Amino acid sequence: MVLQPASVRSNMTVVIGFEGSANKIGVGIIRDGEVLSNPRRTYITPPGQGFLPGETAKHHRSVILTVLQEALDEAGLKAEDIDCVAYTKGPGMGAPLVTVAIVARTVAQLWGKPLLGVNHCIGHIEMGRLITNAQNPTVLYVSGGNTQVIAYSERRYRIFGETIDIAVGNCLDRFARVIKISNDPSPGYNIEQMAKKGTKYIELPYTVKGMDVSFSGILSYIEDAAHKMLSTSQCTPEDLCFSLQETVFAMLVEITERAMAHCGSQEVLIVGGVGCNLRLQEMMGVMCKERGARLFATDESFCIDNGAMIAQAGWEMFCSGHVTELSDSWITQRWRQLSSSSSELSEPLVT
């Protein structure tokens, strides 16, 4: 997908985006491809615990107005400067999504601005493309709730491969709970740091089925084996982190390469919270180098859920004439239209 110049599509269009599909709550402001502000907060639970929808939503409600004011102050803007209000419509956790949708609808009505419901997945992709300048990449989208290989074809994003059970980020998070790894700043980050100290590779189930992957088997295996192996000193927690990362990332590299071959692509873009893992980027970089392709990735500022990515996708949609009517501004926890290799993720954007 090639973007038209901003001067052709809009005249300094400003979009504010609200993101809160999981344990991050963020508000970002975009003006014609420029990130003006992007504050966020993270709901962190004690080691060994995940985050429940109700408690996460309660956290979001307690801070969202503060984050909104921070976004406006950082951008140096007022309500009258905003052209459109975008929010994450889905996919994600129900209660947090509802919290954000209610605030976005309220803000849009109070300010007299049009509203746009944005697909969370597309937000990640559009933010990645904006920051890296990738033109037409094969996208590996990896996070706590999603694992998909996506490419842009015939004016729509289409899924070419994905997990058939749990997401890779969920696999890592649940393993972190087993061995009581801290959730601060995130389980995945702490697993990455521990994996750097691992020296022994433990063979784990490797499940790739065509263009798809499965992580439930490897999680069940390592959950069962972890305590036994650690209690008998067969390995260290660092060895388990290292082995888990190497195995699941190798699976992701394999299906990404297969999608590249299918699409004839010479670019890979990694997005989503797990995408800021440097070991994943390193492994994907080796594959790309062998194929003469280019790898694009971002750091945690934009890989991890944030409001600017919703604002950017909203900007794309708004500039191409899309608006969400108030009567249609509900949430969709599982925003999915089809389940085949040509699954469509969103409305077409601008070509």
- Answer yes or no: is 94 a known binding residue: no
C-alpha distance from residue 91 to each of 127, 240, 350 (Å): 17, 31, 22
Distance CA 166, CA 161 (A): 13
Hunting for tokens 């709901």 — which residue is that? 43
User: In this structure, how many other beta carbons lie within 10 angstroms of the beta carbon of residue 268?
Assistant: 27
Do 25 and 59 contact (CB within 8 A), yes or no? yes
Roughly how many angstroms between the first and final C-alpha of the chain, as a whole number? 6
Q: Quick one: which of 241, 295, 231 has its CA closest to 269? A: 295
- Answer yes or no: is 322 a known binding residue: no
Q: Quick one: which of 12, 288, 252, 334 has its CA closest to 134? A: 288
- Answer yes or no: is 307 a known binding residue: no
- Answer yes or no: is 143 a known binding residue: yes
Laid out side by side, the sheet with 267-271 consists of 294-296, 267-271, 138-142, 147-153, 156-162, 343-344
- Answer yes or no: is 227 a known binding residue: no
Distance CA 60, CA 97 (A): 10
- Answer yes or no: is 212 a known binding residue: no
- Answer yes or no: is 264 a known binding residue: no
CA atoms in the 13 A half-sphere facing the CB of 39: 13
C-alpha distance from residue 41 to each of 10, 44, 46, 76, 342 (Å): 31, 9, 16, 20, 35
Concatenate the DSSP letters of all residues of 71-89 into one string.
HHHHHT--GGG--EEEEEE
DSSP tag of 5: P
- Answer yes or no: is 124 a known binding residue: yes
- Answer yes or no: is 145 a known binding residue: yes
- Answer yes or no: is 87 a known binding residue: no
- Answer yes or no: is 32 a known binding residue: no
Residues contacting 210, CB < 8 A, separation 6+:
161
CA angle 291, 297, 300 (to 5 degrees): 155
Query: Beta-strand (E) ranges in the chain?
Result: 14-19, 24-31, 34-37, 40-42, 84-90, 115-119, 138-142, 147-153, 156-162, 208-209, 212-213, 267-271, 294-296, 343-344
User: Which residues sit in the known binding site for a divalent metal cation?
Assistant: 120, 124, 141, 305
User: Which residues sit in the known binding site?
Assistant: 120, 124, 141-145, 173, 188, 192, 277, 305
User: Which residues sit in the known binding site for substrate?
Assistant: 141-145, 173, 188, 192, 277
